[in-house]
Chain A
């Protein structure tokens, strides 16, 4: 799965948590340009993404990410080698 595919999979999760059914996400989406992506939503997003992919982000791993594209790349890295 490429980053674009992962962003597609992430969209319904973000749409649920941010309560925006028609949300569109892009590789350059980030907390400053997506409405409602605040620190409280962020905690819920991380739980949902970790459960969705069966992964656990290491401490600090998310801090340096600039946008959703980088997050997707990180998810891809953490899930690579799996079915």
Chain B
């Protein structure tokens, strides 16, 4: 039964019927003691349904309202006799007893913090000694009425400051005690906001502090933690391709037209989702592809230069015209994994519905169809919750952080060249290939500052120029240690006998002062040599916006030939045989297209 996507009022209204329907699949006994600082029935009922849907048969003990301390420390026999597998201590900011007063000193603040910590540590220690099971304690959301405003998070007299420090102490305690897990209630509250979190009328009426929606969020997070603790976390993410990992249909649009990369907002959103999937893979989640396409066509999408995901990131790749649930079954067999460890992501609600119906053990989050929200929806599904990092995860994480430290150290340089060196720049410079015609035209027509002639071209004109033997064209992409800047520079040179006139030279301002213009000129001269050109002529035409490139050709070693109207336009020339390469810091490579 699919209860993950039901709204909270449905779950509460139909609680008894849903519970009855889930009973046959609820097989693994699990005993949970819930010690609450607030009324916990609503969270417990929701948690019960979620755990049953995961195959557990949970049995609960609940402390009386606000008796969490007494139950754990003074009368632990009741909990011990219940023999729980898990003790959940559910307290809110409202249960903190040692809040500082406004005029509190640092010393008093620390004493109060210590005293609050002692109260909670004694709960955890008592449970540990008498019951000896796993403890889940949530940390605290920010107090909703910070009387000092923003200063509340800074001052020794601020309740918000007190919660900050207390939460930090909780985290430290959890790092020191493997049997203590922290549920990040603060993060949960932040994810929907205070206005959606607190319901004061329910607090005064029933001592329930939260809205039903917040209760569901707490229950879902808890169910995910318990699932992860007991080995139920998902292992494999099966991804659709068209309109899920890139915009458009690879079969119809081809690699030239699919949306991925940095060129448009839509393309960027698909790249962001690919990056999110890749980060899941780095965390140990297995990726698989499942697409209705011809196999080779589907695979070609990952040859797109901007595709973050590459073919080798997929442990299994199914592209054919069979129903997706058949393919997912085949993937599970191929990888030797149970279908209950699978999550299926597809932008198409019809595909999601049939997979959910045919393979009820597969988790199928309601992704909607807006890729911009895919990462946050998948995150909110909590499918890939983890309660501990394995040693391998940890070592991997360490090597990443070492890199980050290196780059931070490198932030002091003796000179600019050293800085450029540290960027480890690499450029791809080549003549216009069909795949970039759109992007090139776009860049030409929107670049105003680093633009020597400010000529505009239509898509058709660029297509013609790309094919013509009368032109030498160059585009440049630049990547550095911080990432790929994408396609950022274009030159169009028109040849007349032994002279090449630079009709257009543009560059995106995001790569200014990187020596990219030197790398571009080196490449241009090399091609000119190959075409028996002796002289390159450059033009500058002033506009309201392009003063920054007034001395561009002079700086590159061109000779001023003519100037009109006090520099409004100028003509420059460069001798090809006498030129020697100038770029020192960018490693260039030329790709062979088609």
Contact = CB atoms under 8 A, between A and B. Distances in A.
Contacts of A56: 201
A59 B15 contact: no
A47 B12 contact: yes
Nearest to B200: A59
B201 A47 contact: no
A1 interface: no
A16 B206 contact: no
B446 interface: no
Interface string B3-18: 0000011001111110
Interface in A39-71: 39-40, 43-44, 47-48, 51, 56-59
Contacts of B8: 47
Interface string B198-222: 0011101110100010000000000
B42 interface: yes
Given A13-B13, A48-B13, A51-B9, A43 B42 contact: yes
B9 A47 contact: yes
A73 interface: no
Contacts of A44: 12-13, 15
B205 A16 contact: no
Chain A binding surface SS class: helix
Nearest to A14: B13
A13 B10 CA distance: 10
B41 interface: yes
A43 B206 contact: yes
Contacts of B200: 59
A52 to B, nearest CB: 8
A17 interface: yes
Contacts of B13: 13, 16-17, 44, 47-48
A9 interface: no
Q: How large is the interface on B (under 10, 10 to 19, 20 to 34, 35 or more residues)?
A: 10 to 19
Contacts of B15: 17, 44
Nearest to B206: A43
Contact of B41 (A40, A51, A57, A59): A40
A43 B41 contact: yes
B205 A59 contact: yes
Contacts of B42: 43
Nearest to A62: B205
Nearest to A56: B201
Contact of A19 (B16, B41, B206, B212): B16
A33 to B, nearest CB: 20
A16 B19 CA distance: 12
Interface string A14-26: 0011010000000
Interface in B164-204: 200-202, 204
B16 A59 contact: no
B205 A48 contact: no
B41 A47 contact: no
B13, B41, B42: most-surrounded residue (chain A CB, <10 A): B13
Nearest to A52: B9
A64 to B, nearest CB: 13
B201 A43 contact: no
A47 B45 CA distance: 14
Nearest to A39: B206
A26 B584 CA distance: 89
A17 B13 CA distance: 5
A58 B205 CA distance: 10
Contacts of A48: 9, 12-13
B41 A16 contact: no
A66 B205 CA distance: 17
Interface string B78-110: 000000000000000000000000000000000
Contacts of A59: 200-201, 204-205
Interface in B12-37: 12-17
Contacts of A17: 12-13, 15-16
A60 B572 CA distance: 85
A57 B12 CA distance: 18
A67 to B, nearest CB: 19
Given A13-B13, A48-B13, 12 more contacts: A16-B14, A17-B12, A17-B13, A17-B15, A17-B16, A40-B41, A43-B41, A43-B42, A44-B15, A47-B9, A47-B12, A59-B200
Interface of B: 8-9, 12-17, 41-42, 200-202, 204-206, 208, 212
9 contacts: A16-B13, A16-B14, A16-B17, A17-B16, A19-B16, A43-B41, A43-B208, A47-B212, A59-B205
Sort A-B residue pairs by CB-CB distance and give the 7 closest, nearest first: A19-B16, A51-B9, A48-B13, A59-B201, A16-B13, A44-B12, A47-B212
